[in-house]
Amino acid sequence: MKTFIAMEFDKELKDNIGKIQLKLKDKSEKGSWVYVDNLHLTLKYLGNTTQRAIEDVKSVLGNISKENKPLSFTLGELGFFPGKDILRVVYLNLDGETNELLELFKQVEMDMRNIGFSKERKRFKPHITLGRNILFDSTFYNIKTLIKKELSYKFKLKTITLMKSEYKDGKTIYTPIKRYNLKG
């Protein structure tokens, strides 16, 4: 079973990000947009995970959740990971308790390595993926003005969730295995 560790978003945050996605879609010619119910912040991708390893992960996340508090953020600027002739990834940055989020990531990374998962090769860049392989039309230049209101949205991330990822009926489905409220 493919798994990852994420911070889930509440309905209000997903709805707000969905409004941003709609405005971006109107300015795009092609691409694949993340389904609103799948929006989250990934802390660590674990990959194919055995049931025994899942039990170890659950134990570790239970401890991490006791040591960390909910984190406060505001949606940040729009960002892009470029590709050839397209934007490979379109995402939102986060403003707010990003240093605390980095510390949480480091703790998750270290504790997962201690139970046998490999080290993340890429530098942690907290972001919310909105879409992939996006080609915007020529009217894209004014998009920051169009989404300015939605970017002022303030929110808290209060849980860490062990998620499973499945591909069903032509789309990716993320399902929580276990949620942990941050209590620290």
Which tokens in the block code for residue 4?
A: 């990852």
Strand partners, 105: none
Q: How far is CA 90 from CA 2, 101, 138, 156, 173, in A?
A: 24, 21, 16, 22, 20
What angle (nearest 5°) sits at the alpha carbon of residue 73, between those of residues 162 and 56? 20
pTM of the prediction? 0.92
Which tokens in the block code for residue 107?
A: 């703790």
- In tens, the pLDDT along 34-65 reads 999 999 999 999 999 999 999 999 999 999 99
Structural domains of the chain sorted by starting position, each given as residue range(s) with its CATH number in brackets:
2-181 (3.90.1140.10)
Question: What pLDDT score does 105 carry?
Answer: 97
- In tens, the pLDDT along 125-164 reads 999 999 999 998 877 777 878 898 898 899 999 999 999 9
